[in-house]
C-alpha cells in the first residue's frame, strides 16, 4: 500500500540537528504505513546520510536520497521525485514538529473545498540566547522564517504574493507542484548563501488558479542560530533578499507573471555620513537601514551583478 503523505527534509552538513528533526517525524501519531520520511542529503561532507541510516536503521518508512547538485530547491525537487504519495510535506533540519503534524495535514487536504495546492501553518522561533530587544515580531521574525501571523483562524490566503507560507511548515499536492515546474532552482539557498525565494512557485500555482491555505494551529518550532540574532546578519539577509526579489521577478516574468514587489523610489543613501550609519549597530532607525540594504540588493540583482543559477 502506498503512503497517504510523505515528508521531505533536506540537509547540508547539519547531521546532529537533522537527526533530532527526523526523530520527531518518526514519532508521528499516524501508523507507519500511512506516511514516509524522505531525507535528502544535499551533497554534505559531514556523513549526513550515514548518520541518519545508522540512527534510524529499524525505521521501515524512512529513506535517504543523495542530491549532488548543491541548493535547497534542487534538494527539495529531488525529494519530491522520491515521494510515493500524492502529498509532500516539508520541514527543515533545524525544526521540530508535533506528533499530530502529518495527521493534521491529511485531515485538511481531505476536508477542504476547494482543495488547496498548498497548506501551511505557523512557525514559532526558538532562540538559543536572549532575544535582542530590537528584534520585534512585526519586522524581524519573518526574515527568520517564523511569525507569519496572517490570521488567528484558518483560512485561504490572499493571492498575488501578499501573503505567503514558510517551507519549514507546509505541504503540497505533488501533481500541481510538478505542473508548475517544481521549486525554482535559480532561487533558494545554496550552501551557506542567503539567497531565498524558492516559495515563489506558490505565485505560479496561484496564477494557475490554485489556492493556498493557512492554519495557525499547525505549528512547528524553528530553532534560530545565535549568529542570526545580530544586526550584521540582518544586513546580509536583507541585501540578499533584494537579490532574491530581482531573480524572482525574472523567474515569474518568464511565466507571464508580473508581480511588483518593491516601490519605484528606493531608499539608497547618497551622503557618506548616511553610508556610515548603515553599518552603525547603535543607529536608532534600524528598519530604515535594512530597507536600504534590500533596495541595494534588488538594484544590483537587476543589473546582473550576481550570476543567476540554472533556469
Tell me what pLDDT residue 192 has. 75
For the segment(s) 5-229, the CATH number from 3.40.50.300, 3.90.550.10, 1.10.1370.30, 3.40.50.1400 is: 3.90.550.10
Angle in degrees, CA 156, 109, 6, rounded to 5 = 120
Per-residue exposure over 261-274, b if at least 16 CB sit within 10 Å of its own CB, e if not: ebeeeeeeeeeeee
Of 89, 206, 191, which Cα lies nearest the Cα of 159?
206
Listed in sequence order, the DSSP H helices in the chain are 15-26, 48-55, 72-82, 101-111, 137-140, 174-179, 201-207, 231-253, 272-278, 286-302
Tell me what pLDDT residue 141 has. 83
Residue 170 sits at φ, ψ, to 5 deg, of: -155, 165
Structural domain spans, the chain? 5-229, 232-302
Residues with Cβ within 8 Å of residue 76, at least 6 apart in sequence? 8, 10, 40, 90, 167, 182, 183, 188, 198
| pLDDT tens for the chain, residues 1 to 311 | 789 999 999 999 999 999 999 999 999 999 999 999 999 999 999 999 999 999 999 999 999 999 999 999 999 999 999 999 999 999 999 999 999 999 999 999 999 999 999 999 999 999 888 888 888 787 788 888 888 999 999 999 988 778 899 999 999 999 999 999 999 999 888 877 788 889 999 999 999 999 999 999 999 999 998 989 999 999 999 899 989 988 898 899 999 988 766 655 566 666 667 667 677 777 777 888 888 888 888 888 888 776 554 43
Question: Where do we find the cell 532552482?
Answer: 185
Measured distance CA(176)–CA(181) in Å, rounded: 9
Tell me what pLDDT residue 31 has. 95
Whether the Cβ atoms of residue 192 and residue 221 lie closer than 8 Å to each other: no
Amino acid at each position: 500500500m502506498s503512503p497517504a503523505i510523505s515528508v521531505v527534509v533536506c540537509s547540508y552538513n547539519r547531521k546532529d540537528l537533522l537527526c533530532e528533526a527526523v526523530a520527531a517525524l518518526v514519532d508521528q501519531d499516524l501508523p507507519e504505513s500511512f506516511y514516509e520520511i524522505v531525507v535528502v542529503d544535499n551533497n554534505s561532507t559531514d556523513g549526513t546520510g550515514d548518520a541518519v541510516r545508522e540512527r534510524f536503521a529499524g525505521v521501515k518508512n524512512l529513506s535517504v536520497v543523495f542530491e549532488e547538485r548543491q541548493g535547497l530547491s534542487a534538494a527539495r525537487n529531488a525529494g519530491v521525485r522520491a515521494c510515493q504519495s500524492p502529498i509532500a510535506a516539508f520541514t527543515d533540519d533545524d525544526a521540530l514538529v508535533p506528533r499530530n503534524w502529518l495527521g493534521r495535514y491529511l485531515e485538511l487536504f481531505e476536508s477542504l473545498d476547494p482543495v488547496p495546492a498548498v497548506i501551511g501553518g505557523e512557525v514559532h522561533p526558538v532562540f538559543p540566547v536572549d532575544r535582542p530587544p530590537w528584534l520585534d515580531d512585526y519586522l524581524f521574525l519573518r526574515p527568520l522564517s517564523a511569525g507569519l501571523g496572517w490570521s488567528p483562524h484558518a483560512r485561504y490566503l490572499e493571492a498575488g504574493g501578499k501573503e505567503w507560507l514558510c517551507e519549514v511548515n507546509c505541504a503540497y499536492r505533488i501533481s500541481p507542484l510538478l505542473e508548475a515546474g517544481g521549486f525554482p532552482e535559480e532561487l533558494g539557498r545554496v550552501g551557506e548563501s542567503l539567497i531565498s525565494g524558492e516559495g515563489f512557485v506558490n505565485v505560479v500555482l496561484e496564477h494557475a488558479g490554485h489556492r493556498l491555505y493557512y492554519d495557525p494551529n499547525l505549528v512547528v518550532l524553528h530553532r534560530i542560530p545565535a549568529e542570526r540574532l545580530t544586526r550584521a546578519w540582518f544586513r546580509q539577509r536583507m541585501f540578499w533578499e533584494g537579490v532574491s526579489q530581482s531573480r524572482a521577478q525574472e523567474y515569474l516574468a518568464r511565466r507571464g507573471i508580473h508581480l511588483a514587489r518593491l516601490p519605484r523610489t528606493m531608499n539608497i543613501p547618497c551622503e557618506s555620513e548616511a553610508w556610515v550609519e548603515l553599518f552603525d549597530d547603535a543607529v536608532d532607525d534600524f528598519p530604515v537601514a535594512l530597507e536600504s540594504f534590500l533596495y541595494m540588493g534588488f538594484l544590483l540583482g537587476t543589473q546582473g551583478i550576481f550570476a543567476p543559477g540554472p533556469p
